[in-house]
Amino acid sequence: MGASNSLTLPARFDRRWSVHFYFSSHGLLLLRSFEGSLKPRRIDILFQDVLWMSSPMWFRRLQISAAPVQSILSELALHLHDEAKLRRCFRLHDAERAYYIVSGAAFVASDDGELMEASSLCPDITVRDAAISRVPAA
């Protein structure tokens, strides 16, 4: 199993990325990069306590930095403003466009796992056949 840490900002990854899953009831968003020919083969970024996001499904490259929540309040519904002020705002940049995620925290882990194996950041959640399932406790 690879290392797992809070995501240090700014972060830059010259790899392809995709939204691996979004688990709305738990506010979890997992972005995954899987490059079979690179080491590490797999890098995961988990955003916890997600309140709001604007994001494509795929990124060619990914840069993540902090942004002030106030800079995107005009994009959020009014009833989300108070909650947003209690979270962090992450700016995701791919090529010439910026996207945003408002969440409590972000973590990163890397390993040589397979594309569809569970992440060490949330090991009890797996994605199979385009459906999310919980792995039974051992």
Q: H or E stretch including 22?
A: strand 17-23
Kindly report the average pLDDT of the chain as a whole number.
91
Is a pLDDT exceeding 70 seen at residue 138?
A: no
Q: Work out the percent of the chain whose per-residue pLDDT is above 90.
A: 80
Tally of domains within the chain:
1
Contacts 24+ apart (CB under 8 A), 55-59: 55/19, 55/29, 55/92, 55/99, 55/100, 55/101, 56/94, 56/99, 57/18, 57/19, 58/16, 58/17, 58/18, 58/19, 59/16, 59/17, 59/18, 59/31, 59/92, 59/94
Each residue's pLDDT tens digit, 25-84: 889 999 999 998 989 999 999 999 999 999 999 999 999 999 999 999 999 999 999 999
Range of the domain at 49: 4-134
Residue 15 pLDDT greater than 90, yes or no: yes
pTM of the model: 0.88
Q: What is the pLDDT of residue 134?
A: 60
Distance CA 82, CA 33 (A): 33
- In this predicted structure, the answer to whether residue 130 has a pLDDT above a threshold of 60 is no
Q: How many residues does the chain have?
A: 138
What's the pLDDT at 1?
38
Q: Which pLDDT score, from 0 to 100, does residue 133 have?
A: 57
Tell me: pLDDT of 14 over 80: yes
Q: What is the pLDDT of residue 125?
A: 87
